[in-house]
Amino acid sequence: MDSVLLGGEGRASDAGAPRAAAALCGDAACIAEARRLAAGFLTRVRSEHGLPVSDRAMDLTQLVVSELVTNARKYAAGPILLDLLVARDTVEVAVWDSDPVLPVARAADPDRVGQHGLEIVLAVVQEFEVRREPVGKRVIARIALLDGPGGDASAVRR
């Protein structure tokens, strides 16, 4: 996996914001690699940038990364691009893949085994969007860095 921690290379409004990017080869190991990248990124956000990140945000970010990269690996051939960006009070997880088909959450079905990843993601994120790209698509999820209403920092480790 090629990854790099970047600062300020996102949108103009994100100048100076902590960011990490990785190109994943799409093999079986890329899901675990993506989770490690997300955990390492948020750990650096805490330690090097002094930003509060709750333990819950750490766990949810790894879960969302895992689910989105798993879906990209399952439905698209070739590489997967992962971008992580701290934007205001959220961590933005963006996953690009080459498949142009947009994901759709399936209707709830307690008898269905598996295929609940997108449902899980939608249940835990603050915002979710999918963008069609010239090639493929980009799935973006935003997760609150702090817990509770108003950004309660009680469960934050620095």
Secondary structure (H, E, C), the chain? CEEEEEECCCCHHHCCCEEEEEEECCCCCHHHHHHHHHHHHHHHHHHHHCCCEEHHHHHHHHHHHHHHHHHHHHHCCCCEEEEEEEECCEEEEEEEECCCCCCCCCCCCCCCCCCCHHHHHHHHCCEEEEEECCCCEEEEEEEECCECCCCECCCEEC
pTM for this structure?
A: 0.83
104 pLDDT band, cuts 50/70/90, is: confident
117 pLDDT band, cuts 50/70/90, is: confident
pLDDT of residue 109: 75
15 pLDDT band, cuts 50/70/90, is: low
pLDDT of residue 149: 57
Mean pLDDT, to the nearest integer, of 38-67? 96
Percent above pLDDT 70 for the chain: 83
Average pLDDT over the chain, rounded to an integer? 85
pLDDT tens for each residue of 119-150: 899 999 999 999 999 999 999 999 999 986 54
